[in-house]
Chains A and B, each alone.
Chain A
Amino acid sequence: MAIEISNLNYVYMAGSPFEKHALQNVNLTISDGEFVGIIGHTGSGKSTLIQHLNGLLKPTSGTICVDGVDITAKGADLKKLRQKVGLVFQYPEHQLFEETVYKDIAYGPKNMGLTQDEIDERVREAMNYVGLTDKYMNRSPFELSGGQKRRVAIAGVLAMRPDVLILDEPAAGLDPSGREEILTQIKALYLARKMTVLFVSHSMEDVARAAGRIIVMNRGTVAMDGKPSEIFSHAKELRSMGLDVPQITQLAASLAERGIPIDNNIYTIERAKATILMLLAQKEKGAK
């Protein structure tokens, strides 16, 4: 499902002393089946942008088309839109409210007016996607661990079978193994469901692991847009925007500065290792 954003502007609390131009002339096209990472520091406009995509915020000006339908038009069917574009907020476990895991995940499908059988099927499917076994179904979501709660919350959105899944900082506040688990699951989900995924984060490292394309937001505008390898070659600019470049990218940049012929867009340990081994082999050959 393609999303087309043109000349999007959003002004917070217009006309008050707190007025803020949160988005300025944003133009973006996201194609069907893409896995896009959106990065930017707090206040860069990334959260404001994604809330526009399922109609939670109304643009001050500009249009957004989802699957060819202008969702900013008067009388647009927002309920339907929100089924197509699923949005998982930051710390989604803070929105759990039902007595059981099953009922909480069923909340979305129930609001869609589905039959009991359909709801049941979707709840089970969603639980399966996030790796929750049947034994959790009748547990209270409040007695689960932090990571489990978050999976329940994500399942609650997946149960609506959205075509586009937007996740706002899905790994925030988790420990390294929890992060790893959630990120792996999201990637698996993307491959299994063939959905369009938008992944918002301030961690370059997390985004780099799965995204095929990265959009960098800064001060309400799109500052960069491209493949991870292109984005990571601009380490300096990224840092000046308050973003954290992976240590391994910093290493490559430092080596390049010291005259080592190494690519400046390395962002994974595997790639760094392979490149260094190759350079060592070349050197050995040269010595002979």
Chain B
Amino acid sequence: MSNMIKTEHLRYAYQIGTQEKVKFVLDDIDLSISPGEFVAVLGHNGCGKSTLAKHFNALLLPAGGTVYVGGMDTKDEAHYWEFRKNVGMVFQNPDNQIVATVVEEDVAFAPENLGVPSDEIRKRVDEALKTVDMYELRRHAPHLLSGGQKQRVAIAGAIAMEPKCIVFDEPTAMLDPKGRKEVIDTIVKLKEEKHMTVVLITHYMEEAVRADRVVVMDKGKVLRNDVPRNVFSDVKFMKSLGLDVPQVTELCYRLAKDGINIRSDVMTVAECVDELIKLL
């Protein structure tokens, strides 16, 4: 299997009113994501990111074109549950994806639905909670946890399903800096230690910088699909879409524009320090 997820000429449209007028939310999207890859998807609100994500576990089916998950067409109803099981999803609002009143019961929800035997569920739940570092709080009531903790419970809930890929739809948008860090570190850990395929939809550039590849979307189209360094170094392009770049990238870009001899594709503070030390 060469691709975890692959889309070919994917189109999706909402009908406006009763007339023939349609609005393309996704317009001819060709993307492929390899197993074990960490892909970040950027774009401002309403650019079609979330709609795209919902195609990856067959929550939505394409209006045109095809989506393959694990090599199988998502329109194939015979594999319906496999798509769900293989691609886990974590959403923005931590409160609206927790079903149970005890942390471990919530993590058990997916395997319970899949009819996994009790002892096996116990094993999966314990392991998932340890992975997200929430094992100590397994008997707590979710509504008393912090936002970052709730979101880690939601991630554990997806892991317990034993998916090959997890899609994160703005998982940090409602969190404070501490919660954001907890969640992003957990996501990176999934990729690096569990070799999971990760798709991260986000507004935060510091998060996208940690991905293997960045996909930039606007008005239902994919405009850029490249390694983060190449995407962010095009500061002018990113700004024209109303997107941010890391502050250090912008600083170097502006210095270079003023005729200073500096690399304009730095992405992290450490890189920027090294570059500036050379000059100063």
> Measuring CB to CB, which residues of chain A are less than 8 angstroms from any residue of chain B?
41-43, 145-147, 172-178, 180, 202-203, 242-244, 246-248, 250-251, 254-255, 258, 260, 269, 272-273, 276-277, 279-280, 283
Contacts and interface: CB of A to CB of B under 8 A. Distances in A.
Nearest to B246: A247
B254 interface: yes
B178 interface: yes
Given A41-B176, A242-B178, A277-B258, A176 B243 contact: yes
A86 B247 CA distance: 34
B146 A251 contact: no
Contacts of B251: 248, 251, 269, 272-273, 276
A244 B280 contact: no
A42 B273 contact: no
A47 to B, nearest CB: 12
A152 to B, nearest CB: 16
A280 B44 CA distance: 37
The 6 A-B pairs of least Cβ separation, nearest first, read A177-B242, A244-B177, A242-B178, A247-B247, A175-B44, A202-B176
A246 to B, nearest CB: 6
Contact of A273 (B177, B244, B255, B270): B255
A259 B124 CA distance: 51
Interface in B201-245: 203, 206, 242-244
A250 B269 contact: yes
Interface in B233-280: 242-244, 246-248, 250-251, 254-255, 258, 260, 269-270, 272-273, 276-277, 279-280
Secondary structure class of chain B's binding surface, majority of residues: helix
B99 interface: no
Nearest to A243: B177
Given A174-B45, A175-B45, A176-B242, A247 B269 contact: yes
A271 to B, nearest CB: 10
B247 A246 contact: yes
Contacts of A280: 260, 279-280
Contacts of B60: none
A237 B76 CA distance: 55
Nearest to B44: A175
A280 B279 CA distance: 8
5 contacts: A42-B146, A146-B45, A173-B174, A244-B177, A273-B254
B96 to A, nearest CB: 13
Given A258-B277, A272-B251, A242 B269 contact: no
B142 interface: no
B176 A178 contact: no
Interface residues of B, number: 34
Given A42-B179, A176-B203, A251-B269, A260 B276 contact: yes
Interface string B39-53: 000001110000000
Interface string B165-190: 00000000110111110000000000
Contacts of B206: 247
Centre residue among A178, A203, A251 by max chain B CB count within 10 A: A251
Secondary structure class of chain A's binding surface, majority of residues: helix
A260 B279 CA distance: 11
B94 interface: no
Interface of B: 44-46, 146-147, 173-174, 176-180, 203, 206, 242-244, 246-248, 250-251, 254-255, 258, 260, 269-270, 272-273, 276-277, 279-280
A203 B180 CA distance: 12
A204 to B, nearest CB: 9
Contacts of A273: 251, 254-255, 258
A272 B206 CA distance: 19
Nearest to A277: B258
B46 A145 contact: yes
A242 B182 CA distance: 11
Contacts of B269: 247, 250-251, 254
A254 B280 CA distance: 14
Contacts of A248: 247-248, 251
B273 A41 contact: no
Contacts of B246: 247
Given A42-B146, A258-B277, A145 B45 contact: yes
Centre residue among A175, A244, A254, A279 by max chain B CB count within 10 A: A175
A178 B44 contact: yes
B238 to A, nearest CB: 9
B176 A242 contact: yes
Given A41-B177, A176-B243, 11 more contacts: A42-B179, A174-B45, A175-B203, A202-B177, A248-B251, A255-B273, A255-B277, A260-B277, A260-B280, A269-B254, A277-B260
A251 B248 contact: yes
B247 A42 contact: no
A258 B274 CA distance: 10
